């Protein structure tokens, strides 16, 4: 018994050390950014209209993409959690494709469906919507690389909802739509909200796909990259710190909302 307790304590210490090293690997680069910047340069970057516009563009386009495509992602996630059908495994694999392919290739893939010669591009032209070099194209690029996070999180949330609760509601006379909105959706909401946060965060940080579709107007990652390639680390670091700070603050607020919900 003593030997078992000793081995368990040793294993806990080893895991604690390895886990602490992993956390340090995450924290150290972020902390280094804040330690290597002067208050003057940070203040100047925070008041820069170019930086503020790029951050605002990243924020609202990623949020718009998350909101709009949630109307497609959540129903698909419910079907994957509740229905068994042919080629279901292939569908689950297709959902993860945007995560595994290079993001520059993802941008080229999105670009191929929004040119003027494409069906989507020509349809957009009819309504006065331009995708290439516009916020609409940025939204599509961000959504393409980030939608798997929402689908997978929502699917796991719906799968965790006991089917017997839905069946009881159906036997009591509730319609399938009412069961979905009053039973399934509320019980899976925490997972869906996690997927929302992950999709928004992933879309906001996207660089490779966005720069292919729309170099201008510049999102924050593109602006930071442009400043780094043109002027070096000293000029790009303040903009990066401002963007990271905004992202962290919003992420913390959303996490708190999720916990309270």
Mean per-residue pLDDT, 172-189:
91
pLDDT value of residue 251: 84
Contact between 245 and 236 under an 8 Å Cβ cutoff? The reply is: no
CA dist 119 and 121 (Å) reads 6
Q: What angle do CA 36, 50, 28 make, to 5 degrees?
A: 25
Q: Answer with the residue of higher pLDDT: 10 or 168.
A: 168
Percent of the chain with pLDDT over 70: 96
Triad 164, 168, 171: Cα angle to 5°: 135
pLDDT of amino acid 261: 62
* Amino acid 115: pLDDT: 85
pLDDT category of residue 66 using cuts at 50, 70 and 90: very high
Distances (CA, A) of 165 to 168, 171, 172, 186: 5, 10, 11, 12
Q: What is the reported pTM? A: 0.88
pLDDT for 3? 59
Which whole number is the average pLDDT over 191-208? 92
Task: Read off the pLDDT of each residue in 184-213 and give the average, rounded to a whole number.
Answer: 93
pLDDT at position 257 is: 78
Average pLDDT, integer, range 77-96:
91
Residue 5 has a pLDDT of 63
| pLDDT range class, residue 211, cuts 50, 70, 90 | very high
Tokens standing for 175? 């319609």
pLDDT at 203 over 60: yes
Residue 33 and residue 172: Cα distance in Å, rounded?
58
Q: What is the pLDDT of residues 122-155, one digit of tens each?
A: 888 888 888 888 999 999 999 999 999 999 999 9
Please state the rounded mean pLDDT for residues 114-120.
84
Helices (H) and strands (E) in the chain, counts: 15, 0
Q: Looking at the predicted structure, is the pLDDT value of residue 2 above 90? A: no
d(CA 118, CA 100): 25
Residue linked to tokens 């959540």: 74
Q: What does the pLDDT read at residue 12?
A: 84
């Amino acid at each position: 018994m003593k030997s078992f307790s000793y081995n368990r304590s040793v294993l806990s210490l080893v895991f604690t050390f390895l886990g602490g090293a992993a956390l340090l690997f995450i924290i150290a680069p972020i902390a280094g950014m804040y330690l290597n910047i002067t208050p003057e340069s940070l203040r100047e970057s925070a008041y820069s209209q170019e930086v503020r516009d790029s951050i605002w563009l990243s924020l609202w386009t990623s949020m718009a993409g998350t909101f709009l495509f949630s109307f497609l992602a959540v129903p698909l996630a419910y079907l994957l959690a509740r229905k068994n059908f042919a080629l279901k495994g292939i569908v689950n694999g297709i959902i993860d494709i945007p995560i595994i392919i290079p993001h520059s290739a993802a941008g080229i893939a999105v670009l191929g469906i929004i040119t003027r010669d494409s069906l989507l591009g020509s349809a957009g032209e009819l309504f006065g919507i331009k995708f290439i070099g516009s916020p609409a194209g940025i939204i599509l690029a961000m959504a393409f690389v980030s939608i798997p996070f929402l689908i997978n999180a929502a699917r796991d949330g719906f799968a965790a909802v006991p089917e017997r609760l839905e069946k009881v509601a159906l036997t009591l006379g509730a319609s399938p739509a009412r069961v979905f909105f009053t039973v399934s959706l509320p019980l899976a909401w925490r997972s869906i909200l996690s997927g929302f946060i992950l999709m928004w965060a992933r879309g906001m940080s996207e660089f490779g796909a966005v720069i292919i579709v729309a170099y201008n107007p510049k999102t924050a990652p593109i602006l930071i990259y442009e400043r780094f390639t043109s002027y070096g680390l000293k000029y790009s670091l303040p903009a990066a710190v401002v963007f990271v700070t905004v992202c962290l603050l919003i992420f913390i607020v959303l996490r708190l909302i999720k916990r309270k919900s």
